[in-house]
Structure 1
Amino acid sequence: MPSRNTTPAAEPTTAAPVKKAVAKKAAAPKKATAAKAAAKKATPVKKPSKAAVVHVPAGPDLEKTRQARRILRLLTARYPDPVLELDFASPLQLLFAAVLAAQTLDERVNLVTPVLFAKYPTAADLAAADPAEMEEILQPVGYYRKKTQIVMKLASALVERHDGEVPGTFEELVELPWVGRKTANMVLGNAFSVPAISVDTHVERVAHRLAWGPERDVEGTETDVAALFDKKDWVSVNLLLILHGRRTCHSRRPACGACPLAEECPSTGLAGKGELDPEKARALLK
């Protein structure tokens, strides 16, 4: 009987490496998983910081606030009794005086308002005035024909909307004809004692030179200046900035050499436009 071929006996030598390769391949993921687990265990998981979710509102930094307080003390020492330079005896009088003060000096307005309010004491009287007679009274303030129309239309709006009384809220004031942010805040702060910043050309100029507010931006200056001070100080700060702009920090040639803020002001000298000589600067004071 012929002997059987024993070649298949060699199969184990071929299968053994295959089994080892499969075993090695199967073991690789286990080793990788074990390595990842060890690394995960060794590296502590950082929890998110509670501070990361706190949203701090933008505002002036501490040094800027301190500088503002120092400047407020210096201005108060220079102008100890700041008052609005428009004469008035009621919210109604201040509202119309403020409207008349556009493009003219407060001194001129103060000359005509006593005559105006003596003849037309109420909003109803102003609304029903004879235009020619009012024009004659308002001649010294300039643009008297246009301002006569403005006064009469504003008075009519007060009668129609508020029974002739001046409203005491910003929203109602700015809805009146020819009443903007500056006038509304002036009336609120000075006639109603409501904390407000009224930005006129003087406030805007001085605030910009002190790096307190943007140039030629009434609302931006109002917001930035208000952020530097407590509400209780807004009206006095407002008056002090107006006075300083009129008396010392002039638009064309500020009297830097006689200014109490010279050491605090980043614009001292105004790149050669400000007068640094003390004697010459004192001559510029008003």
Structure 2
Amino acid sequence: MTAAPVAWLVTGARGQLGGDLRALLAGRPADDVTALDRAGLDLTDEARLRAVLRDWLAGARRRGLRPVLVNAAAYTAVDAAEADEETALLVNGRAPGWMAEELAGAGRLVHVSTDYVFDGAATEPYPVDAPLAPRSAYGRTKAAGERAVAAAGGDAVVVRTAWVYGAHGANFVRTMAGRAAAGAPVSVVDDQVGSPTWSAGLAAGLVALGLRAEPVPPVLHRTDAGAVSWFGLARAVYEELGADPVLVTPTTTAAFPRPAPRPAFSVLDGSSWDAAGLPAPQPWREALRAALADPGLRAGRPI
């Protein structure tokens, strides 16, 4: 059963995922859509955030709409978070809890989280109930956000994803597409494995989740299907764009030290998503091919 119409609130509206959510929801004229970027909703300001949410909820009630908040906002500067964990904790940890508290008993919260909440040391896909063991400030703050959402109760679901790329903003696939278009060589790590996830497909899944009137599990995993290393993904981008994949050579994580440790294994078990009857993700290579049909992404240009 699908409940409609819906009052949607999308945070992080100018981000990679937020841009695709806005585009998708624009095709639902019966619904009411509010999309807020950082200027419209400062996630470090608790009083302001709660006031905005209460006004939005009151408006939804007046119009008889079912409220659904998709929290696509995050402090995603993984390396910067190592030196600014306090700000990252406000955005990634405390703000989702404030959202969940305001939505409890009033609407559904769909909160987007990450593979970084795990230690990256597994050899099999992480199930939804795997122990949280983040190794970076970013991962710790996202894990704090998950716990805050769970503690608030209500109709809230955490959706973990990984390796997201798309038409909006900077991302790995866009960078590789730019290098491929230039015929440039590139060296990419081959000892980190995950599931590349097209943001447009992820957005469609999150909207389907928001539209579900029935209760949903409190934690789900949603990535595109299958797994590959960053090196393998880079080669796939070159191949899809007709560039010589030999220009892509493998290297190791140790050769590119960064402030924040990267998970060596980021593959998430998506059986919980499938069991919930939500739209099945595409295989990652099929999704990549569809994503690269966008001329801007093919050329490595942000929109």
Higher helix share: 1
Larger radius of gyration: 1
Normalising by structure 1, report the TM-score: 0.26
Higher strand share: 2
Q: Which has the higher contact order (CA 8 A, sep 6+)?
A: 2
